[in-house]
């Protein structure tokens, strides 16, 4: 079983839709949870990170962690064509010397 599982998609939605991106993980000791966004032909950039369980909101983006289910989510409200990218969940191990990435979900937002 992979430590972090993520559906690679692709996911195609119309402009203005609410997008839900999800990952599951296997190690209950993980504490920090991150989402990176990667545009085509670019390196990933940190979008959001959360610590432990709960929600964190930043503009149109909400990151949610459910530690009891080992499930993390990223919600995008009022999606825009500029949100079209690959979204990767990422979980640093204890000590932070290794970050485990999901496979990434390709998102297309159609105008």
Partner 1 sequence: EAQVTQNPRYLITVTGKKLTVTCSQNMNHEYMSWYRQDPGLGLRQIYYSMNVEVTDKGDVPEGYKVSRKEKRNFPLILESPSPNQTSLYFCASSLSPGSNEKLFFGSGTQLSVL
CB of 59 to partner 1, least distance (A): 18
| 3-class DSSP assignment, residue 95 | coil
The C-alpha atoms of residue 74 and residue 62 are separated, in whole angstroms, by: 6
In the complex, the smallest distance separating the C-beta of residue 16 from partner 1, rounded to whole angstroms, is: 29
Whether residue 107 contacts residue 9, with contact meaning beta carbons closer than 8 Å, is answered with: yes
Tell me the window of 10-18, 58-66, 72-80, 90-98 that interacts with partner 1 (CB under 8 A): 90-98
CA dihedral 88, 94, 97, 101 (to 10 degrees): -20
Note whether 32 binds partner 1 by CB under 8 A: yes
Residues of this chain that interact with partner 1 (CB under 8 A) are 6, 8, 31-32, 36, 41-46, 49, 51, 88, 90, 92-99, 101-104
């Amino acid at each position: 079983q992979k430590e972090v599982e993520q559906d690679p998609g692709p996911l195609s939605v119309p402009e203005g839709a609410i997008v839900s991106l999800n990952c599951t993980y296997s190690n209950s000791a993980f504490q920090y949870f991150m989402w990176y966004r990667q545009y085509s032909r670019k390196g990933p950039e940190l979008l959001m990170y959360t610590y432990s369980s709960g929600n964190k909101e930043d503009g149109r983006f909400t990151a949610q962690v459910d530690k009891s289910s080992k499930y993390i989510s990223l919600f995008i409200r009022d999606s825009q064509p500029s949100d079209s990218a690959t979204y990767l969940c990422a979980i640093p191990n204890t000590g932070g010397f290794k970050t485990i990435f999901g496979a990434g979900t390709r998102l297309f937002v159609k105008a």
